Structure 1
Amino acid sequence: MIENSYSYSAYADMKDSLFDVKLKSCGHIFAKNGRRIKRPSGRDDWLLFYVAKGTEHFNLGDGINAPEGSFVFFKPSEPQEHVYNGEQTAEFYYIHFTAPKGFALFGFESSRIYKTTPSLEINEMFEDIIKELQAKDCCYEKICIAKFFNIVCLLERMTQSARRKPKKHADEILAIIQMMNKEYGANHTLSDYAEMARMSKFYFIRAFKEITGSSPLEYRAKIRLKKAAELLSSSNMTVGEITSHIGFNSQNYFCDAFKKHYGLSPTEYRNKQ
């Protein structure tokens, strides 16, 4: 049962595979409070579920909360039950795929929550797969499989890195990331963020980049552009209204940044949806 959500997704008609792994579909879910998935008998395929924003609660054992950056695999016929109970809209990505009998799941365990640092790079890879599946241009099957394996490899690297050496101040940085996602339109300065994290400005910037791979303002800009793309697709807001809503002071600067990131102007992007 699926409630209180909307999503966009794409489906494959794949003939090509890599190690006999084939993608069936990929999607991006925007979930509101009370959205629930309950599949007592699972599905007939494999699932990768990634938490991009918010915290999902999984009924595994005594119950497990999966915060931003968490992911889980489910194998065929494995029960799936999870729910979102947060106040803000959450975001999840998923990939359904098939694999041969005896598939080792890239070394991961199914029905186990893995927690890593949130990654915009991984979000963008999911988006790339969705676009490829929608366009179905030449060689899209190979590109989608390659990107899927890239996602899995990055998740494995991040998981192994977290096990070897927990990042110092990871909790403080994660709190700032969560705030950026909720208050993407607020023009906080680097000094503001550093004070919230109870760190010096210099060390905050250094710790943030070590954990996310981006500077704080670059990371926030990507969040804003992602929100802008969502609004262009799902709302009737004008480009000027979106510019102000997401925190840009200049419409020209916003349009330039959007085109640099997506390869299309905001108007062109909206017309293609």
Structure 2
Amino acid sequence: MPVVPTITLNNDVTIPQLGFGVFQIPEEETTAAVAAALQAGYRSIDTAAAYGNEAGVGRAIAESGVPREELFITTKLWNSDQGYDSALRAFDRSLDALGLSYVDMYLIHWPTPKRGLYLETWKALEQLVADRRVRAAGVSNFQPAHLERLFENSALVPAVNQVELHPGLQQRELRELHAEHGIATEAWSPLAQGALLDDPIITGIAERHGKSPAQAVLRWHLQLGTVVIPKSVTPARIQQNIEVFDFTLSEDEMSAIATLDRGHRTGPHPDNLN
């Protein structure tokens, strides 16, 4: 079973650098997919209230036999639940669905800037951390301006910002800001939904290492220092995605992938989703 390296967050909590995401996995398929991931060696599972599959994740955890302290479970607060009191209520619902007494990380899913509630929501996450119901508080899809408002209004710096990140959208400015403030960068849609897997640069690198294009891209993420959460419902692909610790991309290969940045998003721009 592969040994997944960990990253130490800014509050000294450690997170596996490679995890398993369950975005767009139907509830009825989630338990089997998470069970396959746990069997393959994943110990970090990323879900969200909006995915509608927290209960499926919870069932897989309960049936796995893996000790809770070996797992790193992340879920996220949906936009309609932003605000102090509503965020706390939403967290309780997520915890009940997961069947857990705490989560390792809780994220504000989107800033929804026009609604203007993410500062108030962040105070709820501060309280959850203080109550030890959340080990690490973070955000998702926050742009530099949204992060700067948090820095100005709270002593608690997000442990993580989970953003769309892949070779076609490399988010350099954001990653630099994260590094400056000790925020870990976590990549969703790390394979750009397959959009770049037939690119000659990616396929050439994969062939040289005897790996798949997806494995080459995941290795690029790891060497960038990002936390990455690929998702699949296919056991063979779930297994393949974790077999990325037995090869290393060269500096030239990393530089070649750096040329693929086109600012291409597979999801909405955070400034426009409200």
Provide TM-score, normalisation by structure 2.
Answer: 0.26
Tell me: higher relative CO, structure 1 or 2? Use CA pairs within 8 A at least 6 residues apart. 2
Q: Which one has the largest radius of gyration?
A: 1
Provide TM-score, normalisation by structure 1.
Answer: 0.26
